[in-house]
Amino acid sequence: MSETLTLRVDGMTCAACTGRVERVLSRTPGVTGARANLMTNSVTVDGVADPVALAGKIAAAGFTAPVDVTHLGISGMTCASCVARVEKVLKRVPGVTEASVNLASESATVRHLGISGLPERLVEAVRSAGYEARVVTETSRDDLAAKRAEEQTALGRAVLLAAALTLPVFIAEMGGHLVPAFHHWLHGLVGRFPLWVAQFVLTTAVLFGPGLRFYRAGVPALLHGAPDMNSLVVMGASAAWGYSTVATFAPGLLPESAQVVYFEAAAVIVTLILLGRWLEARAKGRTGAAIQRLIGLQAKTARVERAGIVSEVPLAEVVVGDVLHLRPGERVAVDGEVLTGHSWLDESMISGEPVPVEKSPGDAIIGGTVNGNAALTYRATRVGGDTVLAQIIRMVEEAQGAKLPIQAAVDRVTRVFVPTVMGLAALTVLVWLAVGPEPRLSHALVAGVAVLIIACPCAMGLATPTSIMVGTGRGAEMGILFRRGDALQALQGVRVVAFDKTGTLTEGRPEFVSLDPAEGVDAREALRLAAAAEASSEHPIAGAILRAAAERGLTLTPAEGVEALAGFGLSARVEGRAVLVGAERLMQREGIALGDLADRAVGHAAKGHTPLFVAADGRLLALIVVADRIKPTTPPAIAALHAQGIEVAMITGDSRRTAQAIAADLGIDRVIAEVLPGGKVEALESLRAGGKRIAFVGDGINDAPALAAADVGVAIGSGTDVAVEAAEVVLMSGDLRGVVNAIDLSRRVLRNIRQNLFWAFAYNTALIPVAAGVLYPFWGVTLSPMLGAGAMALSSIFVLSNALRLRAVRPVLGGET
């Protein structure tokens, strides 16, 4: 049957482009027609074809079919089997390239081609699997949170109702085990049959009242051949209820020794599991507390000046270019640039830095931060989803939804876990019927139900995502953003941390130290020519030279033909003279003799200063010396890395002498100096000897290739730009102690995950055999299904509680956050 889909295409700029796209797609098997639209940057395709294959054809034609990300909120998932089932149906939707489902956050992150109407199809796919879903947008987050709060409240009411109905059943049946006289008195007063009928009524009310949710989810899952935890509960509780119903109303169908009831088991199973679900829901809410706090930083309204009138408007109505007024103590509404006023802003909730930051006209401010005690006006520069806070929230959500490599083994187990448990339960019943003591049927029923009930795929499904959620959320509070969840696992295995020097280990703002002129050269003239040549350069060293010229009142002539010589310096023509400013290797390349200034340069390099030479028309004019101050946080960060057993390296374009002097002062283990901009990737490879895992720390702009080439790229954020595509981890401030804290957090999260996984697997491995009755031949011990239900509920609570301990993680360096 022919279908029509509309696919977004980037890169089409003219009619020839649309024609090429149409021709390429029309030749694709299964396609009967293709119509490209330049105005909407899309192509409509008729026929039956795989969208991913179409995207490949578009790419081959020189264009791009972009990948979108859709976030879904999903309700009804209870265990790892549910996660696997939802992922399976999402991945089957044509156009989906990747789907990751998170049990802890009850969400899914789906990457897919830009196909019109595809998000709605994702929702339909989830609903077809028996779960509820809705697309989550920035504006619908509050609605989703409110809906989950309502569900949690409803679950609490269900627990109370189930407990009220179960308590009489439990007392009637189990009270006699504690006080035998009570049992004889009650049966003598009421009679066995009326008592059992009353238990039947109450238990039925529990199963098909508060417990109906298990049937609504578990029965369809069974019928679809994909049983989950709900299915196990339904089978266990229904078996106990069904057997007891027969024993009550048709006892003649059973041997006399087997005419007993287990209504209390069925009722208590449902009640305890409901209680576990309620406690689990409360704990899940705490795992996402960090995200909720970030969302809570967003202002609801803003005071905007339009036509000379200041009025308060909803945040959604603020547009780029609006002038906003900020009163003392108020939260900044959107990202902007200060126009008037002078104040100090608390940016700790964004950067993790506890010290307020001074803001004056021209400075950038970030939405979500808090103003001090002075009023400001500012112009909106980024609004809505483009603000730094919105980017942070998206990054944290995507990291929390990621799957770590360690999860792969868990996924393989969970795919077969529930069917295996059902098989073990059936085998348990058969063994008890074959070789068990009398009453065999009763023993077989109890053991089979216990196996079904005690098995806990929930704990396995929660083990990894809960730790990731809490860990990445805590990282965001500390100013550490994990752009990809798997960076958590990669970072904990790092054995070498390589730093770029300028702007990473140092302040990135070199200061002028001195100028030594060549014999017969006027020092002011040499500085004037150098400053004129550097005037259009954005390099930090150029700023130091220009500031020195300005302080001396030098007048600069505009330079012509300025050419940056990557890794060497620059050349320009100033007043008709060919001027060179750069490193010693530039002078050597041009054949310019350095004379005694070469020795002076060596002396300055030994102090960690950077020597530069100025030449004009082939003649050396002067030696300029600049120094980039080491950040105060660099020495303690390096010392802490050494304490963690991590080797520290520095990669720099500086001369070897300068680099070695800085390394000696800081205690850096390895130095790779005189590296040209394109050589950092090769330098990283040289550090990989012995298969060591490497993290590279750089500024995220000039260092993009090295950040991408490292096992983990850590970018030093500017505070106003966190979308560093090449990096897996972004530090919101330039404080290198964040590197130490990120590695420590990574190790703690992975340790927490391993603890959770050990508990989840050890619990099931140890208690399923006990529930089956392996201890009975030795000590006559069997496990009550009621105890099994309690143990199953507690196993999930243990995993969640263990993950929540990560909320208490404190920075190794940098004080409390």
E strand spans, 704-759: 712-716, 729-731
For residue 62, CA distances in Å to 23, 37, 43, 44, 701 come to: 13, 16, 15, 18, 26
Assess contact for 114 and 67: CB atoms under 8 A: yes
Beta strands at 31-37 and 42-47: parallel, antiparallel or unpaired: antiparallel
Query: Which residues are within 8 A (CB) of 357 and not within 5 positions of it... i.e. 6 or more apart?
Result: 344, 345, 347
Report how far residue 58's alpha carbon sits from residue 690's, in angstroms, rounded to the nearest whole number.
Answer: 42
Location of structure tokens 């009722």 = 267
Instruction: Give me Rg for the CA atoms of the chain.
Output: 34
Report how far residue 564's alpha carbon sits from residue 572's, in angstroms, rounded to the nearest whole number.
Answer: 9
Q: Which helix (H) or strand (E) holds 198?
A: helix 192-208
For residue 399, CA distances in Å to 109, 472, 485 come to: 10, 7, 4
| Amino acid at the residue 262 | Y
Instruction: List the alpha helices (DSSP H) in 312-387.
Output: 348-351
- The single-letter DSSP state of residue 297 is T
Q: Which helix (H) or strand (E) holds 655?
A: none
- Let me know how many helices (H) and strands (E) the chain has, helices first: 28, 29
Six token digits for residue 426: 């059936």
For residue 445, CA distances in Å to 165, 236, 441, 788 come to: 23, 9, 6, 14
Query: Which residues are within 8 A (CB) of 488 and not within 5 positions of it... i.e. 6 or more apart?
Result: 399, 404, 468, 471, 472, 482, 746, 749, 750
| Amino acid at the residue 108 | A
Instruction: List the alpha helices (DSSP H) in 96-191.
Output: 118-128, 141-178, 180-190
Assess contact for 326 and 375: CB atoms under 8 A: yes
For residue 57, CA distances in Å to 19, 115, 427, 757 come to: 14, 15, 53, 43
Report how far residue 169's alpha carbon sits from residue 802's, in angstroms, rounded to the nearest whole number.
Answer: 34
How many residues does this entry show for the chain?
817
Report how far residue 93's alpha carbon sits from residue 88's, in angstroms, rounded to the nearest whole number.
Answer: 9
Report how far residue 303's alpha carbon sits from residue 322's, in angstroms, rounded to the nearest whole number.
Answer: 10
For residue 454, CA distances in Å to 174, 184, 727, 789 come to: 20, 32, 44, 6
Q: Is 581 helix (H, G, I), strand (E, B) or coil?
A: strand
Assess contact for 76 and 131: CB atoms under 8 A: yes
Rounded to the nearest 10 degrees, the angle between the axes of helix 785-804 and helix 440-454 is 10
Q: Of 228, 322, 486, 500, which one is the catalytic site residue?
A: 500
CA-based nearest residue to 407, from 415, 395, 419: 415
Q: Which helix (H) or strand (E) holds 441?
A: helix 440-454
Determine whether 669 is an active site residue: no
Catalytically annotated residues:
500
